[in-house]
Amino acid sequence: MSISNNILSLIEETPDRIIKSLAERVKAGRLGLALTQKEFAKRAGIPLPTYRRFERTGEISFRNLVMLGMILGMTEEFSALFSTQAYRSIDDILSKNKKRQRGKSNG
């Protein structure tokens, strides 16, 4: 992928696209396990209508999403969520390398 395509993909990301893409990946994982929506929801311990809404809209509570991840064997990915700093520019990288300056105490 070229740099311009990579930058374009970042610009095109929206919360709705991200959650819908996540729902599609979970659905693909469910189908890979050859489970119906009903079987998958039951294994995850969530109500079937909640799971159906998730596949359709991407909307789900974080707790229920973790439960789905557990069924798919994807708990490691939750541990990595927000664990590393993503840099958006060279300036971000350079500013992280500067030492933190502390203010003078008032005492």
- List pLDDT tens digits, range 43-78: 999 999 999 999 999 999 999 999 999 999 998 888
Q: Is residue 67 part of a domain?
A: yes
Structure tokens at 92: 């971000």
> Which comes out higher in pLDDT, residue 12 or 81?
81
* pTM of the shown model: 0.67
CATH number of the domain to which 11 belongs: 1.10.260.40
Identify the domain containing residue 54 by its residue range: 3-76
Phi, psi (rounded to 5 degrees) for 89: -160, 170
* CA pair distance 24, 13, nearest whole angstrom: 15
Q: Is residue 70 part of a domain?
A: yes
Average pLDDT over residues 2-17: 68
* CA pair distance 69, 25, nearest whole angstrom: 11
Q: Is residue 99 part of a domain?
A: no
Number of domains in the chain: 1
| SS3 (DSSP) at 77 | helix
* Backbone dihedral region for residue 45 (phi beyond 0: left; psi -120 to 50: alpha; all else: beta): left
Q: Is residue 101 part of a domain?
A: no
